[in-house]
């Protein structure tokens, strides 16, 4: 007998969810490809179903490719990007451990907060929001502090800064430290190159460069870090984020840990397949081209970028709010008149920058030009605070 379409004769066929059709030019979530929506409409299978593990294994393989790694331990956590951050920290930071953080934005502060909650002695190399760390100063800091774990953010969503990681990773390994890198905003839109850079633990999310809905956090762990983890004596305070248990479930024994969402795994499979079909390099270049075109357009409108050219994230742009413009008014008018979401600055950058994402389906010349036209109109409408 086929499944009847209704569990009761009394319910309607009409759905109750009617969201506005936004163009998501913010820092994420980003626009989702129609194929990803169709994948999510495929029937749920159980979290121990052979087909579930087939999809999970394919996701692991495709994630290795976008992460730029051969790490066997490459999989997803059943939580959002911040859950990936907590996974990295709860597994690799022990009470009393010295942890070094490169602190130049909101998400480095979040890393600091989490590490402290796990009992770490955190030392910070601080720069103003919007700053980036040079190779020499980064290495000196690590050699001086000799931490056990080093943490940095590859693409700082709060500021638009891309942080190079090679010198950080080399110095960290010279003092025997593991490196945790936040790749939430970079993965799938910029080259992350986990292995080449020397990152030990990298995590991300599904709703930015991978252009899926939010809900999962991809993570990858180097053999060196796995070895450290296997030798760890103290117990992870978190059971939900215990990588040994999650890895065992997803790709070692398939022993039940939690009920992973087939639906979100389908979405990720579709998003990663889209990247594979386009080609990772082509896709990253597409984001870079859209970024360059955006910067040019912004420049001809008289706006300045917050971040110097060599440190800019391609898929998250932070032009400065021009003198006399009320940024909240610009954002409100874009949302109301054009259904366009962008974000403002926060913390020390409140009122000072716009945060404009060009990711996934929106990272094309057409969309950049369309956006710039509407953004220009909104800017003119919001000139002179009133």
Identify whether the C-beta of residue 372 lies closer than 8 Å to the C-beta of residue 294. yes
Q: Which residues contact 282 (CB under 8 A, 6 or more apart)?
A: none
Residue with smaller CB distance to a second copy, 291 or 367: 367
Q: Which is nearer to a second copy, 117 or 296 (CB)?
A: 117
Binding track over 330-349 against a second copy, x by CB under 8 A: -----------x--------
Crossing angle of helices 166-174 and 135-145, in 10° steps, is: 20
In the chain, the N- to C-terminal Cα span, in Å, equals 66
Q: What x-and-dash track marks residues 75-104 binding a second copy by CB under 8 A? A: ---xxxxxx-xx---x--------------
Alpha carbon distance 146, 141 (integer Å): 8
Task: Tell me whether residue 222 or residue 236 sits nearer to a second copy (CB atom).
Answer: 236
Q: What is the spatial distance between Cα 364 and Cα 361, in angstroms, rounded to a whole number?
A: 7
Tokens standing for 236? 């992870």
* Interface map 208-247 toward a second copy (x if CB under 8 A): ---x-xxx-------------------xxxxxxx------
Site for a second copy in 246-275 (CB under 8 A): 257-264, 266-267, 269-270, 273-274
Output the smallest distance, CB 260 to a second copy, in A: 7
Could you say which residues in the range 296-325 bind a second copy, by CB under 8 A?
A: none
Q: Which of these segments, 35-43, 123-131, 168-176, 314-322, binds a second copy (CB under 8 A)?
A: 35-43
Instruction: Determine, following the binding rule CB under 8 A, whether residue 283 of this chain makes contact with a second copy.
Output: yes
- b (16+ CB within 10 A) / e for 230-262: eeeeeebebebbbbebbbebbbeeeeebeebbb
- For the chain, the residue count is 386
Report the site for a second copy in 350-369 (rule: CB under 8 A): 360-364, 366-367
Chosen residue from 8, 230, 253, 386 binding a second copy by CB under 8 A: 8
x/- site string to a second copy, residues 175 to 214, per CB under 8 A? ------------------------------x-x---x-xx
**Residue (129 or 241) nearer to a second copy, CB:** 241
Contact call for residues 218 and 75 (beta carbons, < 8 A): yes
> Residues 224, 200: contact at Cβ < 8 Å?
yes
310 and 70 Cβ atoms separated by less than 8 Å:
no
- Enclosing H/E stretch for 220: strand 217-221
> Shortest gap between Cβ of 123 and a second copy (angstroms)?
19
Torsion of CA 53, 192, 241, 244, to 10 degrees: 60
**The token pair that represents 211 in the structure block:** 């252009």
Among 36-44, 66-74, 173-181, 190-198, which window interacts with a second copy (CB under 8 A)? 36-44
Which residues in the 100-129 window bind a second copy by CB under 8 A? 110, 113-114, 117-118
**Cβ atoms of residues 318 and 353 within 8 Å:** yes
Determine contact, residues 318/345, Cβ cutoff 8 Å. Answer: yes
* 200 versus 338: smaller Cβ distance to a second copy: 338
Shortest Cβ 139–a second copy spacing (Å): 29
Q: How many residues sit close enough to a second copy to count as binding (CB under 8 A)?
A: 100
Tokens representing 317 are 């742009």
State yes or no: residue 155 binds a second copy (CB under 8 A).
Answer: no
Out of 4, 230, 253, 386, point to the residue binding a second copy (CB under 8 A).
Answer: 4
Q: What's the number of CA atoms in the CB half-sphere (13 Å) around residue 206?
A: 28
Nearer to a second copy, 32 or 303 (CB): 32
- Exactly one of 140, 166, 370, 377 binds a second copy (CB under 8 A); that residue is 370
């Amino acid at each position: 007998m086929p499944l009847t379409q209704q569990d009761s004769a009394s319910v309607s066929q009409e759905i109750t969810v009617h969201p506005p059709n936004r163009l998501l030019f913010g820092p994420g979530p980003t626009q989702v490809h129609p194929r990803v929506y169709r994948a999510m409409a495929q029937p749920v299978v159980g979290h121990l179903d052979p087909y579930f593990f087939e999809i999970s294994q394919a996701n692991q393989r495709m994630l290795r490719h976008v992460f730029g790694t051969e790490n066997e331990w490459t999989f997803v956590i059943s939580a959002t990007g911040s859950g990936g951050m907590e996974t990295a920290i709860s597994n690799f930071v022990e009470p009393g451990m010295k942890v070094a953080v490169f602190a130049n934005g909101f998400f480095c502060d979040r890393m600091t907060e989490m590490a402290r909650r796990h009992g770490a002695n955190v030392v910070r190399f601080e720069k103003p929001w919007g700053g980036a760390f040079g190779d020499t100063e980064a290495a000196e800091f690590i050699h001086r502090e000799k931490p056990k774990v080093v943490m940095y953010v590859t693409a700082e969503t709060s500021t638009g800064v891309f942080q190079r990681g090679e010198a950080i990773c080399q110095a960290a390994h010279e003092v025997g430290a593991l490196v945790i890198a936040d790749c939430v905003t970079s993965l799938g839109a910029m080259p992350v190159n986990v292995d080449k850079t020397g990152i030990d633990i990298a995590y991300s999310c599904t709703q930015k460069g991978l252009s899926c809905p939010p809900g999962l956090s991809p993570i990858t762990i180097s053999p060196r870090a796995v070895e450290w983890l296997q030798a760890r004596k103290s117990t992870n305070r978190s059971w939900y984020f215990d990588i040994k248990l999650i890895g065992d479930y997803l790709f070692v024994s398939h022993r039940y840990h939690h009920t992973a969402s087939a639906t979100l795994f389908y979405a990720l499979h579709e998003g990663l397949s889209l990247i594979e079909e386009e080609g990772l390099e082509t896709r990253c270049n597409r984001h870079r081209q859209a970024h360059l075109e955006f910067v040019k357009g912004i420049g001809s409108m008289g706006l300045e970028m917050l971040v110097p050219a060599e440190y800019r994230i391609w898929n998250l742009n932070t032009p400065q709010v021009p003198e006399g413009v009320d940024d909240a008014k610009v954002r409100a008018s874009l949302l109301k008149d054009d259904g366009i979401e962008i974000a403002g600055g926060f913390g020390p950058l409140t009122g000072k920058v716009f945060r404009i994402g060009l990711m996934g389906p929106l990272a094309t010349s057409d969309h950049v030009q369309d956006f710039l036209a509407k953004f220009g109109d909104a800017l003119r409408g919001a000139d002179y605070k009133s």
